[in-house]
Structure 1
Amino acid sequence: MDAPLKWLNWAKQIQGIAQTGLAYTKDVYDKERYEQLRALSLEIMEQYTDVESSKLVELFAGESGYATPKVDIRGVVIQDGRVLLVREKGDGEWSLPGGWADLLLSPSEIAVKEIREESGFEAKVLRLLAVMDNQKHNPPAPYHVYKMFIHCEITGGRAQEGVETSGVRFFGENELPQLSRSRNTEEQVKLMFDLLKNPERVPVID
Protein backbone atom coordinates (compact mmCIF):
# COMPACT_ATOMS: atom_id res chain seq x y z
CA MET A 1 0.00 0.00 0.00
CA ASP A 2 1.28 3.48 -0.84
CA ALA A 3 2.36 5.30 2.30
CA PRO A 4 0.23 8.42 1.61
CA LEU A 5 -2.92 6.27 1.62
CA LYS A 6 -2.26 4.41 4.87
CA TRP A 7 -4.06 7.11 6.85
CA LEU A 8 -7.22 6.51 4.82
CA ASN A 9 -7.31 2.79 5.56
CA TRP A 10 -6.51 3.44 9.22
CA ALA A 11 -9.41 5.91 9.43
CA LYS A 12 -11.80 3.43 7.76
CA GLN A 13 -10.67 0.62 10.05
CA ILE A 14 -11.18 2.78 13.15
CA GLN A 15 -14.63 3.76 11.87
CA GLY A 16 -15.50 0.09 11.22
CA ILE A 17 -14.42 -0.97 14.71
CA ALA A 18 -16.43 1.88 16.24
CA GLN A 19 -19.57 1.15 14.20
CA THR A 20 -19.53 -2.58 14.94
CA GLY A 21 -18.77 -1.95 18.61
CA LEU A 22 -21.68 0.49 18.93
CA ALA A 23 -23.97 -2.09 17.33
CA TYR A 24 -23.22 -4.82 19.87
CA THR A 25 -22.02 -3.29 23.11
CA LYS A 26 -24.33 -3.18 26.12
CA ASP A 27 -21.86 -1.37 28.33
CA VAL A 28 -22.32 2.40 28.64
CA TYR A 29 -18.59 2.97 29.11
CA ASP A 30 -17.68 0.89 26.07
CA LYS A 31 -20.24 2.86 24.08
CA GLU A 32 -18.53 6.07 25.10
CA ARG A 33 -15.15 4.70 23.97
CA TYR A 34 -16.54 3.61 20.61
CA GLU A 35 -18.06 7.06 20.12
CA GLN A 36 -14.61 8.51 20.78
CA LEU A 37 -13.11 6.20 18.16
CA ARG A 38 -15.74 7.29 15.63
CA ALA A 39 -15.00 10.94 16.38
CA LEU A 40 -11.29 10.23 15.93
CA SER A 41 -11.89 8.64 12.53
CA LEU A 42 -13.85 11.71 11.43
CA GLU A 43 -11.10 14.01 12.69
CA ILE A 44 -8.55 12.12 10.58
CA MET A 45 -10.76 12.36 7.50
CA GLU A 46 -11.38 16.08 8.03
CA GLN A 47 -7.64 16.69 8.38
CA TYR A 48 -6.66 15.01 5.12
CA THR A 49 -9.63 15.62 2.80
CA ASP A 50 -11.59 18.65 1.61
CA VAL A 51 -14.96 16.99 2.25
CA GLU A 52 -17.15 19.05 4.57
CA SER A 53 -17.81 17.66 8.04
CA SER A 54 -21.57 17.13 7.58
CA LYS A 55 -20.96 15.14 4.39
CA LEU A 56 -18.37 12.97 6.14
CA VAL A 57 -20.83 12.15 8.89
CA GLU A 58 -23.46 11.20 6.31
CA LEU A 59 -21.20 9.05 4.12
CA PHE A 60 -18.47 7.88 6.44
CA ALA A 61 -19.84 7.68 9.97
CA GLY A 62 -23.60 7.86 9.71
CA GLU A 63 -24.35 4.16 9.53
CA SER A 64 -25.14 1.67 12.28
CA GLY A 65 -24.94 -2.09 12.67
CA TYR A 66 -22.13 -4.39 11.64
CA ALA A 67 -19.75 -2.50 9.35
CA THR A 68 -19.85 -3.81 5.76
CA PRO A 69 -18.96 -2.34 2.33
CA LYS A 70 -21.55 -0.30 0.44
CA VAL A 71 -22.89 -1.70 -2.85
CA ASP A 72 -22.83 0.32 -6.09
CA ILE A 73 -24.76 -1.04 -9.10
CA ARG A 74 -23.74 -0.09 -12.66
CA GLY A 75 -25.84 -0.95 -15.72
CA VAL A 76 -23.70 -1.82 -18.76
CA VAL A 77 -25.41 -1.28 -22.13
CA ILE A 78 -23.26 -1.74 -25.24
CA GLN A 79 -25.15 -1.32 -28.50
CA ASP A 80 -23.57 -1.42 -31.97
CA GLY A 81 -20.12 -1.36 -30.39
CA ARG A 82 -20.84 1.74 -28.29
CA VAL A 83 -21.41 2.01 -24.55
CA LEU A 84 -24.21 4.00 -22.92
CA LEU A 85 -22.86 6.71 -20.58
CA VAL A 86 -24.54 9.54 -18.69
CA ARG A 87 -23.03 12.86 -17.60
CA GLU A 88 -23.19 13.32 -13.85
CA LYS A 89 -24.42 16.73 -12.70
CA GLY A 90 -22.30 16.38 -9.57
CA ASP A 91 -18.92 16.57 -11.32
CA GLY A 92 -19.76 17.06 -15.01
CA GLU A 93 -18.07 13.78 -15.91
CA TRP A 94 -19.43 10.59 -17.46
CA SER A 95 -20.35 7.21 -16.01
CA LEU A 96 -22.27 4.02 -16.61
CA PRO A 97 -25.83 4.55 -15.31
CA GLY A 98 -25.99 3.46 -11.70
CA GLY A 99 -25.91 4.27 -8.01
CA TRP A 100 -26.18 2.91 -4.50
CA ALA A 101 -28.14 -0.28 -3.92
CA ASP A 102 -31.61 0.44 -2.53
CA LEU A 103 -33.29 -1.52 0.24
CA LEU A 104 -35.94 -4.03 -0.89
CA LEU A 105 -34.71 -4.05 -4.50
CA SER A 106 -32.58 -6.76 -6.11
CA PRO A 107 -29.38 -5.88 -8.03
CA SER A 108 -31.22 -6.52 -11.32
CA GLU A 109 -34.08 -4.24 -10.33
CA ILE A 110 -31.65 -1.49 -9.35
CA ALA A 111 -29.75 -1.72 -12.64
CA VAL A 112 -32.98 -1.37 -14.63
CA LYS A 113 -34.21 1.48 -12.39
CA GLU A 114 -30.95 3.43 -12.64
CA ILE A 115 -30.80 3.11 -16.43
CA ARG A 116 -34.39 4.36 -16.70
CA GLU A 117 -33.93 7.24 -14.23
CA GLU A 118 -30.54 8.42 -15.52
CA SER A 119 -30.81 7.82 -19.28
CA GLY A 120 -34.53 7.51 -20.13
CA PHE A 121 -34.16 4.03 -21.59
CA GLU A 122 -36.07 0.93 -20.51
CA ALA A 123 -33.87 -2.15 -20.19
CA LYS A 124 -33.73 -5.77 -19.19
CA VAL A 125 -30.91 -7.57 -17.40
CA LEU A 126 -28.85 -10.19 -19.21
CA ARG A 127 -26.02 -11.23 -16.89
CA LEU A 128 -23.52 -10.20 -14.23
CA LEU A 129 -20.20 -9.06 -15.70
CA ALA A 130 -18.09 -8.13 -12.68
CA VAL A 131 -17.96 -7.41 -8.96
CA MET A 132 -15.04 -5.11 -8.16
CA ASP A 133 -13.59 -3.64 -4.96
CA ASN A 134 -13.22 0.14 -5.21
CA GLN A 135 -10.13 -0.02 -2.98
CA LYS A 136 -8.34 -1.93 -5.75
CA HIS A 137 -9.68 -0.19 -8.83
CA ASN A 138 -10.94 3.32 -8.08
CA PRO A 139 -9.49 6.49 -6.53
CA PRO A 140 -9.32 6.59 -2.70
CA ALA A 141 -12.71 7.16 -1.09
CA PRO A 142 -13.86 7.56 2.52
CA TYR A 143 -16.00 4.42 2.27
CA HIS A 144 -15.46 0.88 1.08
CA VAL A 145 -17.58 -0.12 -1.93
CA TYR A 146 -18.27 -3.28 -3.92
CA LYS A 147 -19.20 -2.33 -7.49
CA MET A 148 -21.48 -4.65 -9.45
CA PHE A 149 -21.43 -4.29 -13.24
CA ILE A 150 -24.54 -5.81 -14.84
CA HIS A 151 -25.02 -6.31 -18.59
CA CYS A 152 -28.35 -4.92 -19.76
CA GLU A 153 -30.18 -4.56 -23.07
CA ILE A 154 -32.37 -1.65 -24.12
CA THR A 155 -36.01 -2.62 -24.67
CA GLY A 156 -37.59 0.79 -25.15
CA GLY A 157 -37.69 4.40 -24.08
CA ARG A 158 -35.56 7.24 -25.44
CA ALA A 159 -32.51 9.22 -24.41
CA GLN A 160 -33.57 11.64 -21.70
CA GLU A 161 -31.63 13.41 -18.96
CA GLY A 162 -32.54 12.65 -15.37
CA VAL A 163 -32.54 14.47 -12.03
CA GLU A 164 -28.86 13.64 -11.50
CA THR A 165 -27.70 13.63 -15.13
CA SER A 166 -27.15 16.32 -17.77
CA GLY A 167 -26.30 14.21 -20.81
CA VAL A 168 -26.96 10.80 -22.38
CA ARG A 169 -24.74 9.43 -25.16
CA PHE A 170 -23.20 6.30 -26.63
CA PHE A 171 -19.39 6.18 -26.97
CA GLY A 172 -17.02 3.85 -28.78
CA GLU A 173 -14.33 2.01 -26.85
CA ASN A 174 -11.61 4.33 -28.15
CA GLU A 175 -13.52 7.60 -27.81
CA LEU A 176 -14.45 7.57 -24.14
CA PRO A 177 -15.02 11.00 -22.54
CA GLN A 178 -13.69 12.19 -19.20
CA LEU A 179 -15.01 9.58 -16.78
CA SER A 180 -16.20 10.04 -13.21
CA ARG A 181 -13.48 7.80 -11.82
CA SER A 182 -15.01 7.27 -8.39
CA ARG A 183 -17.95 5.68 -10.23
CA ASN A 184 -16.05 3.89 -13.01
CA THR A 185 -12.58 4.11 -14.49
CA GLU A 186 -11.51 3.83 -18.12
CA GLU A 187 -10.00 0.44 -17.29
CA GLN A 188 -13.32 -0.79 -15.90
CA VAL A 189 -15.33 0.41 -18.90
CA LYS A 190 -12.86 -1.18 -21.32
CA LEU A 191 -13.05 -4.39 -19.31
CA MET A 192 -16.81 -4.39 -19.94
CA PHE A 193 -16.16 -4.16 -23.69
CA ASP A 194 -13.73 -7.09 -23.45
CA LEU A 195 -16.12 -9.23 -21.40
CA LEU A 196 -18.88 -8.73 -23.96
CA LYS A 197 -16.56 -9.44 -26.88
CA ASN A 198 -15.64 -12.70 -25.19
CA PRO A 199 -18.91 -14.12 -23.74
CA GLU A 200 -17.15 -17.35 -22.70
CA ARG A 201 -15.32 -15.39 -19.97
CA VAL A 202 -16.68 -15.83 -16.47
CA PRO A 203 -17.61 -12.77 -14.40
CA VAL A 204 -14.64 -10.92 -12.94
CA ILE A 205 -14.57 -10.89 -9.14
CA ASP A 206 -11.76 -8.75 -7.71
Structure 2
Amino acid sequence: MGRTEYYHDPNAPKANTLVPASNLLVVDGTGAVLLQRRRDTGQWALPGGAQDIGETAAQCAVRECLEETGIVAEITGFLGVYTNPNHVVAYTDGEIRQQYENTYIGRPVGGEPTINDEADGVCFVRPDDLDRYDIHPSMRQQIGDYLAGTYPYLG
Protein backbone atom coordinates (compact mmCIF):
# COMPACT_ATOMS: atom_id res chain seq x y z
CA MET A 1 0.00 0.00 0.00
CA GLY A 2 1.41 3.40 -0.99
CA ARG A 3 1.66 6.31 1.37
CA THR A 4 2.38 10.04 1.39
CA GLU A 5 3.65 11.81 4.49
CA TYR A 6 2.70 15.37 5.35
CA TYR A 7 4.66 17.26 7.99
CA HIS A 8 3.53 20.76 8.97
CA ASP A 9 1.96 21.08 5.50
CA PRO A 10 -1.06 23.42 5.38
CA ASN A 11 -2.35 21.47 2.35
CA ALA A 12 -2.31 18.12 4.15
CA PRO A 13 -5.55 16.18 4.20
CA LYS A 14 -7.45 15.90 7.49
CA ALA A 15 -6.65 12.80 9.53
CA ASN A 16 -9.41 10.19 9.85
CA THR A 17 -7.61 7.61 12.05
CA LEU A 18 -5.28 7.43 15.01
CA VAL A 19 -3.37 4.15 15.35
CA PRO A 20 -0.98 3.36 18.21
CA ALA A 21 2.49 2.60 16.89
CA SER A 22 5.88 1.93 18.44
CA ASN A 23 9.44 2.66 17.32
CA LEU A 24 12.70 1.28 18.66
CA LEU A 25 15.77 3.50 18.64
CA VAL A 26 18.51 0.85 18.78
CA VAL A 27 22.00 2.04 19.72
CA ASP A 28 25.00 -0.28 19.42
CA GLY A 29 28.10 -0.35 21.64
CA THR A 30 29.78 2.37 19.54
CA GLY A 31 26.83 4.77 19.81
CA ALA A 32 25.61 4.18 16.25
CA VAL A 33 21.84 4.25 15.63
CA LEU A 34 20.02 1.54 13.67
CA LEU A 35 18.19 2.92 10.62
CA GLN A 36 16.20 1.37 7.81
CA ARG A 37 15.50 2.91 4.39
CA ARG A 38 11.77 2.57 3.78
CA ARG A 39 10.83 1.19 0.37
CA ASP A 40 7.61 3.25 0.30
CA THR A 41 9.21 6.67 0.87
CA GLY A 42 12.93 6.18 0.23
CA GLN A 43 13.72 7.90 3.52
CA TRP A 44 15.69 6.51 6.42
CA ALA A 45 13.77 5.87 9.64
CA LEU A 46 13.77 4.09 12.94
CA PRO A 47 12.17 0.65 12.82
CA GLY A 48 8.58 0.76 13.97
CA GLY A 49 4.97 0.24 13.12
CA ALA A 50 1.40 -0.30 14.23
CA GLN A 51 0.67 -2.17 17.42
CA ASP A 52 -1.20 -5.46 17.10
CA ILE A 53 -4.03 -6.49 19.40
CA GLY A 54 -2.66 -8.77 22.10
CA GLU A 55 0.77 -7.16 22.38
CA THR A 56 2.11 -4.34 24.50
CA ALA A 57 3.60 -1.20 22.96
CA ALA A 58 7.06 -2.44 23.99
CA GLN A 59 6.50 -5.86 22.39
CA CYS A 60 5.39 -4.07 19.23
CA ALA A 61 8.66 -2.08 19.12
CA VAL A 62 10.79 -5.22 19.47
CA ARG A 63 8.73 -7.14 16.88
CA GLU A 64 8.80 -4.32 14.34
CA CYS A 65 12.56 -3.94 14.77
CA LEU A 66 13.14 -7.60 14.01
CA GLU A 67 10.69 -7.65 11.08
CA GLU A 68 12.05 -4.49 9.46
CA THR A 69 15.79 -4.79 10.13
CA GLY A 70 16.71 -8.38 11.06
CA ILE A 71 18.08 -7.10 14.39
CA VAL A 72 16.97 -8.69 17.65
CA ALA A 73 16.94 -5.96 20.28
CA GLU A 74 16.03 -5.52 23.90
CA ILE A 75 14.52 -2.42 25.41
CA THR A 76 16.75 -0.40 27.71
CA GLY A 77 14.64 2.74 28.14
CA PHE A 78 11.81 4.94 26.99
CA LEU A 79 12.38 7.94 24.72
CA GLY A 80 8.86 9.35 24.64
CA VAL A 81 5.42 9.64 23.11
CA TYR A 82 5.28 11.51 19.79
CA THR A 83 1.78 12.68 18.84
CA ASN A 84 2.10 15.57 16.41
CA PRO A 85 -1.30 16.38 14.81
CA ASN A 86 0.63 18.21 12.07
CA HIS A 87 2.22 14.92 10.95
CA VAL A 88 -0.21 12.81 8.96
CA VAL A 89 0.26 9.91 6.59
CA ALA A 90 -2.18 9.39 3.73
CA TYR A 91 -2.53 5.83 2.42
CA THR A 92 -3.84 4.84 -1.00
CA ASP A 93 -6.80 3.03 0.60
CA GLY A 94 -8.17 6.36 1.94
CA GLU A 95 -6.84 6.09 5.49
CA ILE A 96 -5.23 9.31 6.70
CA ARG A 97 -3.42 8.61 9.95
CA GLN A 98 -2.30 11.13 12.56
CA GLN A 99 1.09 10.34 14.09
CA TYR A 100 0.99 8.48 17.40
CA GLU A 101 4.28 6.77 18.29
CA ASN A 102 5.68 5.36 21.50
CA THR A 103 9.44 5.38 21.02
CA TYR A 104 11.65 3.09 23.06
CA ILE A 105 15.43 2.92 23.37
CA GLY A 106 17.14 -0.41 22.90
CA ARG A 107 20.34 -2.27 22.21
CA PRO A 108 21.06 -5.06 19.74
CA VAL A 109 21.37 -8.58 21.17
CA GLY A 110 21.41 -10.63 17.97
CA GLY A 111 20.64 -10.84 14.27
CA GLU A 112 22.22 -9.11 11.29
CA PRO A 113 21.05 -6.06 9.31
CA THR A 114 18.81 -7.55 6.61
CA ILE A 115 16.74 -5.96 3.84
CA ASN A 116 13.15 -7.10 3.33
CA ASP A 117 9.79 -6.16 1.79
CA GLU A 118 9.63 -2.95 3.83
CA ALA A 119 13.28 -1.83 3.89
CA ASP A 120 15.79 -1.79 1.03
CA GLY A 121 18.61 -0.66 3.31
CA VAL A 122 19.49 -1.36 6.94
CA CYS A 123 22.56 -0.10 8.79
CA PHE A 124 23.95 1.39 11.98
CA VAL A 125 24.81 5.10 11.53
CA ARG A 126 27.21 7.05 13.74
CA PRO A 127 25.72 10.32 15.02
CA ASP A 128 28.33 12.36 13.12
CA ASP A 129 27.15 10.75 9.85
CA LEU A 130 23.39 11.29 10.26
CA ASP A 131 23.37 14.40 8.03
CA ARG A 132 24.42 12.22 5.07
CA TYR A 133 21.08 10.40 5.23
CA ASP A 134 17.63 11.57 4.09
CA ILE A 135 15.81 11.13 7.40
CA HIS A 136 12.22 12.29 7.87
CA PRO A 137 11.99 15.30 10.24
CA SER A 138 9.88 13.35 12.77
CA MET A 139 12.60 10.68 12.99
CA ARG A 140 15.30 13.35 13.22
CA GLN A 141 13.43 14.86 16.17
CA GLN A 142 13.36 11.52 17.96
CA ILE A 143 17.03 10.78 17.28
CA GLY A 144 17.93 14.35 18.26
CA ASP A 145 16.01 14.06 21.52
CA TYR A 146 17.94 10.88 22.33
CA LEU A 147 21.32 12.37 21.45
CA ALA A 148 20.57 15.54 23.46
CA GLY A 149 19.39 13.52 26.44
CA THR A 150 16.02 15.33 26.40
CA TYR A 151 13.73 12.45 27.22
CA PRO A 152 11.26 11.21 28.02
CA TYR A 153 9.55 13.41 25.49
CA LEU A 154 5.82 13.58 26.13
CA GLY A 155 4.51 15.65 23.23
Q: What TM-score results when the alignment is normalised by the length of structure 2?
A: 0.78
Identical columns (%)? 25
RMSD over aligned CA atoms reads 2.2
8 Å Cα contact 2:72/2:110 also seen in 1: yes
5+ long unaligned stretches in structure 1: 13-59, 61-67, 196-200
5+ long unaligned stretches in structure 2: 1-8, 90-95
Write 1 or 2 for the structure with the bigger share of strand.
Answer: 2
- CA–CA distance in 2 between the matches of 1:168 and 1:194? 24
1:130-160 Cα shifts (integer Å, max 9, x gaps): 1011225x4x443222211101111111111
Q: CA deviation at 1:6?
A: 8.2
Distance 1:76 1:143, change over 3 A: same
Write 1 or 2 for the structure with the bigger share of helix.
Answer: 1
Distance 1:189 1:202, change over 3 A: closer
Aligned to 1:180: 136
8 Å Cα contact 1:91/1:180 also seen in 2: no
Q: What TM-score results when the alignment is normalised by the length of structure 1?
A: 0.60
Computing the radius of gyration over CA atoms, which structure comes out larger, 1 or 2?
1
By relative contact order (CA 8 Å, sep 6+), the higher-ranking structure is: 2
- CA–CA distance in 2 between the matches of 1:117 and 1:6? 33
Q: Compare 167-176 and 88-97 and name the one that shifted more.
A: 167-176
- CA–CA distance in 2 between the matches of 1:123 and 1:143? 27
- CA–CA distance in 2 between the matches of 1:156 and 1:99? 20
Q: Decide which of 112, 115, 120 is 1:161's aligned counterpart.
A: 115
Q: CA deviation at 1:111?
A: 1.0
The answer to whether 1:118 aligns with 2:68 is yes
Find the residue that maps to 2:113 and give its secondary structure. Answer: coil
8 Å Cα contact 2:71/2:112 also seen in 1: yes
The answer to whether 1:190 aligns with 2:144 is yes
Q: CA deviation at 1:114?
A: 0.9
